Amino acid sequence: MRMFFLILFCAIVITVLALAAWTWPGLEQEVERASAAASPKPETAPEPEPAIKPSLSLEGVLVAQLVAGEINTEQYRRAVEGLAARDEDRHPMAVPPENA
């Protein structure tokens, strides 16, 4: 008996939802507007991205140059070593004391 009421309740809920969706005023226009807004407009061409973005760090710029073939691996290594030495001078690491 409980199963019958559960099935009847589900059928009523589904029917009410279907009728609400069927009689929704302006549903077709809303769907058309949403699909038109979601589709890309063919008139505008996307702007080409620059090869090196200005927001990249210096390490990122070096990697981009390495991948693009503008510098070789030896130049990259020397540049990164220089960056590490400069970083060590500016921000030396403090080693915490040992607790005995």
Note whether 52 and 61 are within 8 A (CB): yes
pLDDT attached to residue 91: 85
| 12-70 per-position pLDDT tens digit | 999 998 888 777 667 667 777 777 766 655 566 666 666 555 557 888 888 889 999 99
Sketch the domain layout of the chain as residue ranges. Answer: 58-90
Does 96 or 48 have the greater pLDDT score? Answer: 96
Quickly tell me which residue has 């061409």 as its tokens. Answer: 45
Q: What span, in angstroms and rounded, lies between the C-alpha atoms of 25 and 14?
A: 19
Give 49-56 contacts, CB < 8 A, sequence gap 24+: none
pLDDT attached to residue 52: 55
Cα 18 from chain centroid?
Answer: 36
